Amino acid sequence: MHKRMNVAILIYDGVELVDMNGPLDAFIHANQFNGSRYNVYTVAAAAGPVLSENQIVTILPQYSITDCPDPDIIVIPGTTSKRPTDPTLVAWIRQKGLNPEKIVMSVCIGAFVLAQTGLLNGRKATTHYLSITDLHTQYPEIDIVKNVRFVQDGNIVTSGGITSGIDGGLHLVETYDGPTIAQQTSDLMVYNRNSILPPYTILPPYYPHD
């Protein structure tokens, strides 16, 4: 019998919906093939409604960081909000991520939230291709990897733009459940893990990055 794993999907104002739902769906659909291994839930810094990108969707998190189940996996979606990241949330991510038994995964520009914790210093990481230059400028200690959908360095996983969060989620499903279940999950989601990157997201020469 597989160990039950808690998967915390972080949400905050301006959260990108595909960043959030892509990996969330990967873990939920994998449950159809692995005996419901993943306990997936949403977590915010505090209780109360959260507004998504462009304030289109109002989300009520299931937990706050003070009362959520202890996560085995933390997913950090990107956010369009210009507000500073709640320092208590950053501290919570850091405290959890210092445990090498826990996985912390960012999606798209969620890498900037993760970078604030210091957990990416000296590690390989990626983000949305349009944000690579900014990430390098703001956090030069990070070894940025270009032209990939995701990269894992130790217990930290970072994924590229938007739908790449699905790739990151399926990568973790494969890590814990094996390639067959990962492929079954991908098929159920009608998602091609082996598709090439879109041509204008490849660097260089399409975007200045140095």
Tell me how far apart the 2 most distant CA atoms of the chain are, in Å: 49
Distances (CA, A) of 114 to 107, 111, 118, 146: 10, 5, 7, 18
Structural domains counted in the chain: 1
Domain that holds residue 168: 5-192
CATH number at residue 137: 3.40.50.880
Q: Report the C-alpha gap between 185 and 30 in whole angstroms.
A: 5
Question: Is 210 contained in some domain?
Answer: no
Distances (CA, A) of 178 to 105, 140, 153, 173, 190: 19, 35, 19, 7, 18
Question: Is 88 contained in some domain?
Answer: yes
Per residue in 87-125, pLDDT (tens digit) is: 999 999 999 999 999 999 999 999 999 999 999 999 999
* pTM of the predicted structure, to 2 decimals: 0.95
Per residue in 119-159, pLDDT (tens digit) is: 999 999 999 999 999 999 999 999 999 999 999 999 999 99
